[in-house]
Amino acid sequence: MPSSGQDGPIVKHNAVRTTIGPHGRMFVSVTSAMGLVKTILGEPPDSYGPANLARFHAMEGTGCHAICLDWLAHKCGWLPDYAPPEWPNDHGAEERWHMVMNNALVGFQEFVEQYEFEALGIEQEAYSIPYMMVGHVDLWGTMRWKKRRVKAIVDLKFVTAILASHRLQVRCYSRLNGLRDAHIGILFHSNRNTGTWKVEPVLLGGGEDDVSAVANAARLYAWAESKRG
């Protein structure tokens, strides 16, 4: 799968993802920076159910991403084999697991076909030196949008509701090297229980103050990591 920038080791500290990227500098993941921004904004955590089932639903979200992205990577010839993610025993509801995975995949396949999506990268790593951020974008490719073929950044969301921070995350991705010529951002929002889905467009222009705020969160994390030595 194509990747821009230079690969570096991913390090996790207190759920903050950092990597050593171009010029040997430390970069903080967009998702980690967004976590701090969500806290400051007072947004609820991403979820698909009651807070006491957060771990249960996090496993489902991870599985939904895996089944969709691995299927597409295999379809593109980037993975030699493809198999749905196995049911994790600590999930505790095997029948529901397979139902949710099937719903996610069927809806995603419909999206790929309906919008004639052609992948250029899956979980593509990309950097921004000005913002000191690194991202691993779910999908980068071309698609049919309002009778035109456009370059799109697509983020898959298997959560209860789309939040302002989800749109901001996609805008941050559009500032990363190799992705700055994107015409549009897309949030693919899927209902795990029913398989129904919709796409929400994200305008990538403007909102520079918001993107800078996320970059400042990334710099704060990088500063904290340097103090830890």
CB 47 within 8 Å of CB 160: yes
Residue 14: what pLDDT?
Answer: 44
Cα separation of 186 and 198, whole Å?
10
CB 220 within 8 Å of CB 36: yes
pLDDT over 70 (residue 4):
no
pLDDT over 80 (residue 9):
no
Cα separation of 43 and 37, whole Å?
9
Tokens of 206: 């403007």
* Residue 7 pLDDT level (bands cut at 50, 70, 90): very low
pLDDT over 60 (residue 5):
no
Highest mean pLDDT among 22-26, 176-180, 218-222: 176-180
Share in percent of the chain as helix, strand, coil (round to 5): 40, 25, 30
Cα separation of 52 and 85, whole Å?
24
CB 143 within 8 Å of CB 152: yes
**pLDDT one-digit tens code per residue, 167-205:** 999 999 999 999 999 999 999 999 998 999 999 999 998
* Residue 6 pLDDT level (bands cut at 50, 70, 90): very low
The architecture in CATH of the region 10-228 reads Alpha-Beta Complex (3.90)
Residue 49: what pLDDT?
Answer: 64
Residue 28 belongs to what H/E stretch? strand 26-29
Boundaries of every domain in the chain = 10-228
* Residue 56 pLDDT level (bands cut at 50, 70, 90): confident
Tokens of 114: 């309906």
pLDDT over 80 (residue 42):
yes
Residue 13: what pLDDT?
Answer: 38
Alpha-carbon separation of residue 41 from 36, 44, 84, 210 (angstroms): 9, 9, 36, 12
**pLDDT one-digit tens code per residue, 101-145:** 999 999 999 999 999 999 999 999 999 998 889 999 999 999 999
